[in-house]
Structure 1
Amino acid sequence: MPLPDFLQISYRPELDLLVGRWQRIVSEGELYASYPALLEEAVARGCRYWLLDARRRLNIEVAITPWLLNDFVPRLGQHLGGRAYLAYLVAPVQLTDAVPADKQIPPLVYFEGRAALMQRFTDEATALAWLQEQRASGGDN
């Protein structure tokens, strides 16, 4: 699959970390295209730890949340051979204004025991530390 121009995907072998950075505000269709591209690269690398930088994107997955939660996320474990860990890097306004007000985006406890654990951060160092904690604890948190 050709890499979309609105999404930069890289792999950091020293951390065994997939990094996806949206380069601009994207359309709903571009959001749908983003996740399979990320998954394809993760499968190729055998990588279950993802840092997803959505700060430039600004729009939250509200429109695609049902697809993300009910279709995409459940397939991650099958494709990656275990639970995936997705650290979303967001702008502070995304965390304080949009996310709590949107009832389609479940609380983070929703992801406990599921094929992926997702967490939101406003600081990249904190997001990376969380991903390293998940790895150090055996990835079962």
Structure 2
Amino acid sequence: MPSDLLADHVTWQFHPQFKMLIARWQRSLTAEQQQQVYAALLPIAQQHENCRYWLLDVRRLAAAPPLLLSWAVEVYQSTLAPTLGGPVYAAFVTVPHQQENIDSSAMHTLVAKANTHHYYPVFYDTEAAAVNWLQVQQQRP
């Protein structure tokens, strides 16, 4: 992935005290660009203690197109847990215009399939709720 795509469109940081990888999209991207960003996050997580707790602020993105969702479930998510050494918990911070897509039966099916890969995405409308959920997951045995 061109490093400038990540630098120009997404900010990220690892918080060692919270053991969380935080990524914030700064503007909307094409499905292909989003794939590149997600692909770039995996080695970043590996470099930071194989971080398995991700806060993904996607409030500036349009609803995810079907092509991206299909790629995420069929290709990307199945690589996360084996690469990082355990289940991966992803809390997405969203806005109301994304809610229809999140509440769809198709999304519920995709989330159920993601769970079979030990990838657990959830969606919140506030960052505080997302961080709280991730902290609760860290306490799980």
Given the alignment, which residue of 8, 21, 30 partners 2:33? 30
Question: Residue 128 in 1 paired to residue 118 in 2?
Answer: no
Q: Give the distance between the partners of 1:114 and 1:52, measured in 2 at CA.
A: 19
> What is residue 61 of structure 2 aligned with on the other side?
57
- Aligned partner of residue 130 in structure 2, secondary structure: helix
TM-score, scaled to structure 1: 0.87
Question: Residue 20 in 1 paired to residue 23 in 2?
Answer: yes
> What is residue 78 of structure 1 aligned with on the other side?
82
TM-score, scaled to structure 2: 0.87
The 8 Å contact of residues 65 and 105 in structure 1, kept in 2 or not, is answered as: no
The 8 Å contact of residues 66 and 104 in structure 1, kept in 2 or not, is answered as: no
Q: Give the distance between the partners of 1:125 and 1:81, measured in 2 at CA.
A: 26
The 8 Å contact of residues 31 and 64 in structure 2, kept in 1 or not, is answered as: no
- Aligned partner of residue 59 in structure 2, secondary structure: coil
Moved more, 43-52 or 62-71: 62-71
Letter in 2 for 1:79: T
Q: Give the distance between the partners of 2:73 and 2:116, measured in 1 at CA.
A: 13
Structure 2 unaligned regions, length at least 5 = none
Evaluate the alpha carbon distance shift between residue 115 and residue 101 of structure 1 in structure 2; reply closer, same or farther with a 3 A threshold: closer
- Aligned partner of residue 106 in structure 1, secondary structure: helix
Query: Size of the alignment, in residue pairs?
Result: 137
| Regions of 4+ moved over 3 Å | 107-113
- Aligned partner of residue 106 in structure 2, secondary structure: coil
Taking only aligned residues, the RMSD between alpha carbons, in angstroms, comes to 1.9
Structure 1 unaligned regions, length at least 5 = none
The structure richer in helix per residue is 2
Letter in 1 for 2:57: D
The 8 Å contact of residues 25 and 59 in structure 1, kept in 2 or not, is answered as: no
**TM-superposed deviation, 1:40:** 1.2
